[in-house]
Amino acid sequence: MPESFPEVEGGGSLIVAWQIRNKKVLVIGGGEVAAGRILNLLNADAKVTLISPREGLNPEVAHRVERKQVEYIDRVFEPSDLDDPNISMVLTAIDDPAASTVIWKLCKEKRIAANIADVPPECDFYFGSVHRDGPLQIMVSTNGNGPKMANIVRRRIADSLPPNIGDAIKKVGALRRKLRVLAPGNDEGPKRMQWMSKVCLAWSLEDLCAMEPEDMDALLESYGPNEIPTFDQVRLGEKPGVFQFDGSFGWYI
Ligand SMILES: C[C@@]1(CC(=O)O)C2=NC(=C\c3[nH]c(c(CCC(=O)O)c3CC(=O)O)Cc3[nH]c(c(CC(=O)O)c3CCC(=O)O)/C=C3\N/C(=C\2)[C@@H](CCC(=O)O)[C@]3(C)CC(=O)O)/[C@H]1CCC(=O)O
Ligand SMILES: NC(=O)c1ccc[n+]([C@@H]2O[C@H](COP(=O)([O-])OP(=O)(O)OC[C@H]3O[C@@H](n4cnc5c(N)ncnc54)[C@H](O)[C@@H]3O)[C@@H](O)[C@H]2O)c1
């Protein structure tokens, strides 16, 4: 049998989860669009510097400035704003297309990744519509075809998710960190990954959400023998695969 591999379907975007934590991002313009971008950046722990005249600030952006959630420069953009070599990303959200294009060209000269809101040819990356539930983030992109459609699809996806999915993922994260302490070696990698996948498949979201640190410790005892007990077995201190006498002899009289 010849092996079959996925067909390439060009024309998409490379969707990645950019680790912008503690990195400097310049936001130029402080209107409604900037408000959304700034929230996304702060949610990703970026260090945001905002350049925008105070009189044009949207109330949400003014609130971020007041609370010192962003570093603030009260004036229009100047080319020297791009001199800092630590700038990882530039976002513009200004109502001045000519100024936007100047900023885009300067960013390209300096090889800084940039998004010029509403000008797709002047974007190294697009934004998307994002659903967030704790550690879970889902981004929908229509690749420039229909931003409003991205919003509609994102809401539809979010409505279809179990309400506790974010909590379940948080618990799985805690379990994985404990597992890495218990079995740290690189040579353990394949066994670790296989065991974690099996736990995620075997346990319901409700089980995962209900998992407390002591349950995790009990569950991890099954890692050595490479077994997956049920949630009830973990809670009752039972071993998987071992017959536990329940007093019924398996039938009722
Ligand atoms: C997803 C979202 C994220 C965000 O901005 O954070 C986002 N736009 C959002 C909303 C939105 N934007 C527009 C409308 C009016 C209705 C409509 O046109 O549909 C609405 C709806 C609204 O306001 O409700 C107008 C618009 N936007 C762009 C153009 C230019 C063009 O198409 O040429 C025009 C037309 C201007 C004109 O016609 O004159 C361009 C881009 N907008 C993108 C992202 C990138 C592609 C994303 C994708 O295709 O998936 C891209 C390419 C570049 C970028 O900006 O990154 C956010 C929704 C977040 C949410 O609600 O969840
Ligand atoms: N992609 C999207 O999601 C989307 C959606 C709607 C609008 N837009 C576009 O994004 C842009 C911004 O929209 P908005 O609603 O936030 O506009 P806005 O008018 O509310 O805000 C513009 C901001 O830019 C500031 N500004 C203008 N020139 C500046 C300069 N040279 N330097 C620094 N700051 C400057 C203004 O003071 C103001 O704070 C517009 O071009 C709009 O068409 C994009």
* DSSP-derived 3-state class of residue 9: coil
* DSSP-derived 3-state class of residue 80: helix
Please say whether the beta carbons of 246 and 206 come within 8 A: no
- Taking the CA of residue 77 as reference, the ligand 2 atom at the shortest distance is 32
> What would the mean pLDDT of 45-49 be, rounded to a whole number?
98
Count of CB atoms situated within 10 Å of the CB of 80: 7
> Hey, what amino acid is at 11?
G
**For 31, which DSSP code?**
S
Taking the centre of ligand 2 as the mean of its atom positions, its distance from the CA of residue 95, in whole angstroms, is 4
Residue 72, ligand 2, Cβ within 6 A:
no
Q: CA-CA distance, 203 to 205, in Å (whole number)?
A: 7
pLDDT(244) > 60: no
Specify the DSSP element, H or E, that contains 180.
helix 165-182
pLDDT(98) > 90: yes
Determine the pLDDT at residue 238: 83
Residue nearest to atom 21 of ligand 1 (CA): 148
pLDDT(245) > 80: no
Q: CA-CA distance, 189 to 170, in Å (whole number)?
A: 21
Q: 67: pLDDT confidence band, cut at 50, 70 and 90?
A: very high
Q: CA-CA distance, 112 to 122, in Å (whole number)?
A: 12
Query: So what's the ipTM on this one?
Result: 0.93
What is the rounded average pLDDT for all residues in the chain?
94
167 is catalytic: no
Please say whether the beta carbons of 129 and 147 come within 8 A: yes
Closest CA to 37 of 95, 78, 84, 90: 90
Taking the centre of ligand 2 as the mean of its atom positions, its distance from the CA of residue 43, in whole angstroms, is 21
